[in-house]
Amino acid sequence: MKKGKFLIDAYKKINNKSFNIDEAVKFFVENKRDKIDETIEISMNLGVDPRHADQMVRGVVSLPHGTGKKMRVAVFARDQKAEEAKLAGADIVGAEDLAEDMQKGNLNYDRIIATPDLMGVVGRIGKILGPKGLMPNPKLGTVTADVKVAVEAAKSGQVQYRAEKTGIVHAGIGKVSFGSDKISENVKCFIETVQKARPSGAKGTFIKKVSLSSTMGAGLIINM
């Protein structure tokens, strides 16, 4: 794919250098596009093989300034828990009816939360939710009786992360419009959280490479 003039100019400024976090964030803010509020994304190459259970890296992080993305949240709950989810800001709440709707292909959600008693219903559509990374999981706080807290956390910018087959973790961690200070704090928080999630089976260097990029911009290597 040919690079546009904007990207060509950006890469000339980078000139194969590596940057510390603050320098990289400042670069994106100073070289932002005029009409687009780009998302800043982080990619981390980890020294793990997720095929082994003791090298799996997965978790959640509540970024200090959120992500700037409006999260669509679906909740499987009944009765009082359903009301709590609605009051907390869930976009849709249901049980069997919600499962049927999702089975028809209506999966335009960023997070799905379920109370423990409804996991039997959710399990019926596990083959649909799993590949899209939407299956509720108690380790991620998305299978819980405290739906109010789970919905509020999702809406406030809580980010889920998971190492892919090649050991790469990536996530959107803010908008250029946040400004340098807030983006830097989000980046540092994300890296620290992943660092603390180092699994017992990881040997040698855990974080091998970190890079930041913007939606339509250049990718920068972070000097850790």
Per-residue pLDDT of 35-80, as tens digits, reads 889 999 999 999 999 999 999 999 999 999 999 989 999 999 999 9
Q: What angle do CA 124, 129, 133 make, to 5 degrees?
A: 145
Region(s) of the chain under CATH 3.40.50.790: 73-156
Looking at residue 33, what is its pLDDT?
A: 79
Pick the closest to residue 54 from 158, 211, 199 (CA basis). Answer: 199
Q: Does residue 11 register a pLDDT over 90?
A: no
Residue 218 pLDDT level (bands cut at 50, 70, 90): confident
CATH topology of domain 17-66+159-222: Ribulose 1,5 Bisphosphate Carboxylase/Oxygenase (3.30.190)
Per-residue pLDDT of 141-173, as tens digits, reads 999 999 999 999 999 889 999 999 999 999 999
The one-letter amino acid at 200: S
Region(s) of the chain under CATH 3.30.190.20: 17-66+159-222
CATH superfamily of 73-156: Ribosomal protein L1/L10, domain II (3.40.50.790)
Per-residue pLDDT of 99-143, as tens digits, reads 999 999 999 999 999 999 999 999 999 999 999 989 999 989 999
Q: Helix axis angle, 21-30 relative to 180-196, nearest 10°?
A: 140
Record the pTM: 0.82
DSSP letter at 202 equals -
- Count of CB atoms within 10 A of residue 139's CB? 9
* pLDDT > 90 fraction of the chain, expressed in percent and rounded: 81
Looking at residue 200, what is its pLDDT?
A: 93
Looking at residue 10, what is its pLDDT?
A: 52
Residue 1 pLDDT level (bands cut at 50, 70, 90): very low
